[in-house]
Amino acid sequence: MSGLIGKKIGMTSIFDENGKNLPCTVIQAGPCVVTQVRTQDLDGYDALQLGFDEKSAKKSNKAAQGHFKKANTSIKRKLVEFKGFESEHKLGDTIGVDLFSEGEFVDITGTSKGKGFQGVVKRHGFSGVGQATHGQHNRLRAPGSIGAASYPARVFKGMRMAGRMGNERVTVQNLRVLKVVPEKNLLVVKGCVPGHKNSYILISK
């Protein structure tokens, strides 16, 4: 689906027309520059490669500099391909936040915050209410049994256990666009989106 690259600015809350306080996320959505046009004849599929956020030429190799020179734009830090744009776009075109309108629903993809090594209560939502009597004192948040004994004599794949949590690619679907501010390239969506402040996210129609 068509969309934009954005940057998560942070969370706030706004009041709707009924006076209800809605939690929302503020996103800097674009402006994105078309840095490559994929076509059915040349590449086997139709898509647009968009670039977002500035990057110094000193930190880019010659191949990257030549790629952006073709599009007649400055060097970009983040490049992502999007399919499904309805209107035609040429190399070097700028696509802004006016791609979206208030009231429509979007899907947002980002990398969730890393939580490090966590136990089963935090990671998988186990109840953690082990027996708190009969002299037992250190098993309240333990996972319990992870399998049988002599048969099958192994732990099944996919067993929910302690381990690293977060830092994964996450997509949140059907977030309503509450407000679009074209002059500042801001998009306000209801609810939260994955990632920390200033992390890159993908907004899809």
**CATH number for position 58:** 2.40.30.10
Window from 53-62, 107-116, 161-170 with minimum mean pLDDT: 53-62
Pair 10, 100 in one domain: yes
pLDDT score of 186? 93
Q: Give yes or no for a contact between 119 and 162, defined as CB atoms under 8 angstroms apart.
A: yes
* The pLDDT of residue 34 is above 80: yes
Give the phi and the psi of residue 40 in degrees, each rounded to 5.
-65, -40
Pair 124, 104 in one domain: no
Domain of residue 140 covers 117-165
Pair 52, 127 in one domain: no
Q: What is the mean pLDDT of residues 12-17?
A: 91
Number of independent structural domains in the chain: 2
Pair 10, 63 in one domain: yes
Pair 82, 23 in one domain: yes
Pair 141, 198 in one domain: no
* The pLDDT of residue 30 is above 80: no
> What's the rounded Cα separation, in Å, for the pair 150 and 135?
29
pLDDT score of 139? 82
Pair 137, 90 in one domain: no
Which one, of 101, 78, 88, lies nearest residue 32 by Cα? 78
* 58: DSSP letter: G
pLDDT score of 12? 94
Pair 143, 99 in one domain: no
Pair 127, 55 in one domain: no
Pair 38, 84 in one domain: yes
Name the more confident of 155 and 91. Answer: 155
Q: What is the mean pLDDT of residues 26-41?
A: 90
Pair 75, 143 in one domain: no
> What's the rounded Cα separation, in Å, for the pair 65 and 85?
26
Pair 26, 91 in one domain: yes
